[in-house]
Structure 1
Amino acid sequence: MIEEIVSDRVAKLDLPLPHGVRAGDYVYVSGQIAARPDGSIVVGDFEAETRAVLDNVQAVVEAAGGTLADVCKVTVFLLNATLFEPMNRVYAEYFTAPYPARSTVLAPLSNPDLRIEIEAVAYLPRR
């Protein structure tokens, strides 16, 4: 059975996707963008954009009852390779060793103002 995960700290966009879903002992966080809870988008400062995205990932994991330490896999989508280093600087503020497995993919994003999107998987065994 799949349960929808909703966080009041993440914008509810008018799209057919949840913030995340729980399937057994795993929580799958949908791709998060730099949207504030009011739906406005963080633009201009890439590190602020990355923090907003990771704050959203964290909010969804916490809504499911976990922390970022429970995240076992992250996929980062970047607009271009020049953003890799600044993304890593901010990423290291949120995750510590042992780091989750990670893939980074260069890809155009759905909104021309967006430069980063992150999805994650957390392992949260039911007690």
Structure 2
Amino acid sequence: MSGADQDRSIHADAAPKAVGSYPHARRVGDLLFLSGIGPRTPSDNTIPGNDYFADGRLRKYDIEAQARAVFANVRAVLEASGATWDDLVDVTVYLTDMARDFKAYNAIWAEHFPDAATAPCRTTLGITALPTPIAIELKCIAALKD
């Protein structure tokens, strides 16, 4: 593989557009670094499970819907990058309400990674906000075999 192929940015058509000027992922050698991936729906930018007041303020959200959507979006970026789910080696999870959402998120994580021995490493952080009205975001690193 040439040096140009080893160091490149990736934009995944099947993933939501970035909310800033950055790629979905960047490959450097055998490592793939994903930018923060949220649960927005790629086709229309909506956020699964969000319910809004008439004035546009967020009324409530469904962490399970958002967690499932964020995993689907991560998978889309991995696939666009030539990687697979099994290539993930490290995941940082950002939750805006750790006390409320960790248990439900953790259960969905276990569905996607049922074997702890082969699951990627994971760090989960409770934060006060994300740049859009989402409750979860994942930052991932994958190791590519090729």
Pairwise same-fold verdict (TM > 0.5): yes
Contact 2:88–2:142, Cα closer than 8 Å, also in 1: yes
Matched AA of 2:102: F
Whole-Å Cα distance in 2 between the matches of residues 93 and 124 of structure 1? 23
Q: Structure 1: any 5+ residue segments left out of the alignment?
A: none
Question: How much is the aligned-residue C-alpha RMSD, in angstroms?
Answer: 1.5
Q: State the partner residue of 2:103.
A: 85
Q: In the aligned structure 2, how far is the partner of 1:95 from the partner of 1:3?
A: 28
Gap regions ≥5 residues in structure 2: 1-5, 51-60
Match in the other structure for 1:123: 143
Greater Rg by CA: 2
Whole-angstrom CA distance in 2 between matches of 1:68 and 1:10: 15
- What is the TM-score normalised by the length of structure 2? 0.79
Give per-residue Cα distances to partners, 1:34-72, cap 9 Å, x unaligned: 111122222232101111111111111111112111100
Aligned residues: percent identity?
Answer: 34
Q: Are residues 22 and 37 of structure 1, via their aligned partners in 2, closer, same or farther at CA, if it must alter by over 3 Å?
A: same
Matches within 5 A, 1:1-127: 2-38=7-43, 39-42=45-48, 43=50, 44-81=61-98, 82-97=100-115, 98-111=118-131, 113-126=133-146
**Is the contact between residue 109 and residue 116 of structure 1 (CA under 8 Å) also seen in structure 2?**
no
**Number of residue equivalences:** 126
How does the TM-score come out when normalised to structure 1? 0.90
